[in-house]
Amino acid sequence: MINNQKGFTLTELIAGVALTTLLFAGFIMFLLQFYGNFKEIAEYNTLQHELLETIEALRYGYVKQGVNDNESIIGLLTANNVNIASNNKSVTITPIVVKAGERHWASYSLSAKGEIILNAVYGIKNINGEVIFPKSKEVIDKNLKYKITEFQIRNISPFISDKISLVSIVIEGQVRFRPKQSGQNKVEDERLNTKSARFETKVYISNYDN
């Protein structure tokens, strides 16, 4: 009886293990790259979402539980008076007050760290130094992970008056994915490690004639 059995040589086994290791390492690298890309997309979406939420707060007002609860009335769309700072980086909004003697106003401004800060009075209650952007306090390279890089509010009313009837809002934010790498210049750092989003809108002050 003739046995014709064929196995693997030691060289073939070593080559097979090396190939399997190489394929596994490649798969791990692919997963890490996929996760990194997915994380960056999610963080960029967060940036855009929070910028749009900030614009909505400027339009309609900001809600804070225990202060004004669900009545977000101090916004540009319900403003009776709008005062824009000379540097165009801050706006104070005063709504129509229904009850005589009540104080209502809200001021939105850009901080040196790239935050949008709200100070407000709602009747007998106050909002002091509320950070409405960003929601995250995470810091990378000694700067906020999410920050405002441009914030401009301008009076573009079509005619001269003591009341502002139309304003433009420009808001641009940046998310930093990772620290600046050694050898990278400023342009390379921003291109490879950050991403920005920018929104522009106009708001008509509907109570202008009141």
> What pLDDT score does 135 carry?
96
- Residue holding tokens 């990378």? 140
Measured distance CA(141)–CA(55) in Å, rounded: 27
Distance between CA atoms of residues 172 and 147, nearest Å: 9
Give residue-wise pLDDT tens across range 87-118. 999 999 998 776 777 788 999 999 999 999 99
pLDDT band for position 31 (cuts 50, 70, 90): low
C-alpha to C-alpha distance for 189 and 141, rounded to whole angstroms: 12
Q: Report the SS3 class of residue 110.
A: strand
Query: What predicted TM-score, i.e. pTM, was given to this entire model?
Result: 0.80
What's the rounded mean pLDDT across residues 135-150?
96
Q: How far, in Å, CA of 39 to CA of 138, rounded? A: 15
Percent pLDDT > 90 in the chain is 57
Identify whether 95 is preceded by a cis peptide bond (ω within 30 of 0). Answer: no
